[in-house]
Structure 1
Amino acid sequence: MAVAALVIPDAAYQAIEARGVQGAIDAGATIGPRVMVSLLAVRVFCTLDAYILAVKESSPAAATDDDAAVCPACGNELDEELEFCPWCTQRLERPGELD
C-alpha cells in the first residue's frame, strides 16, 4: 500500500474522495503504464518473497548438533524420550528394542 501511495497521482486520490467508487474507476482508466508496471513489480516481488519464505520454513531443519538424532522420514531433530517423531508422527524403532 505504501508503494501505491507513492506512485498514484494526487488527482486520482482527489477523484476517489470526490466521487467514491466511480471516481476510483475513472482514476484507474487514467493511470499510466509506469504506475501499473511499478505496482505489478511490487506485487510480483512480494509473491516471490512469500514463496521463498515458505520454502525455507517447510524444508527439513538441519541438525545443529552432530550427535543429535534426526527422523529418517522428515529429517527434523528428534526428542530422545519420544517413540515417534513430533514433526511427522513417524514411529521410531530404537536400537535394542524388542517388539
Structure 2
Amino acid sequence: MAFSCGSQDDTEYSVENISTSEVSQELNGLLAKNTCLGCHRVDKKLIGPSYLEIAKRKYTKEELINLIKQPKPKNWPDYPPMAPMQWVNGEELATIADWIASLEVNE
C-alpha cells in the first residue's frame, strides 16, 4: 500500500514557543510510543491530518483528549477514520493535547 504526502494548502503555519528540538526530544518518543506518528506529522498531511491542521480547529485540551480516545470521523471526512486510542494513559494524553493546543496557526 502506498501513500502520497503533500498539500495544496497555502496557509502559513508556525509553531510558537516550541522549538524543533523540543518537539523531537520531548514529544517524538511519546508520539512514536503511542503510534501517533504512523498517521500524523507536525506540518504534513499523511494518513491523518497534520497536527497544525488539527490545531487550526481550536479544540480545547479536553476536546482533544476526548477526540484521541473516541475519534469522530465526521469531523475529518477527507481522512480514513482514526482508531480509538484507549491505551494512551491520562498523563500522556494531557501532554499530547497540551502540545497540539499550543500550536499557533497563522492564516
TM category (shorter chain) comes to under 0.3
Which has more helix, going by share of residues? 1
Structure number with larger C-alpha Rg: 1
Query: Could you state the TM-score of these two structures normalised by the residue count of structure 1?
Result: 0.23
> RCO (CA 8 Å, sep 6+): is it higher in 1 or 2?
2
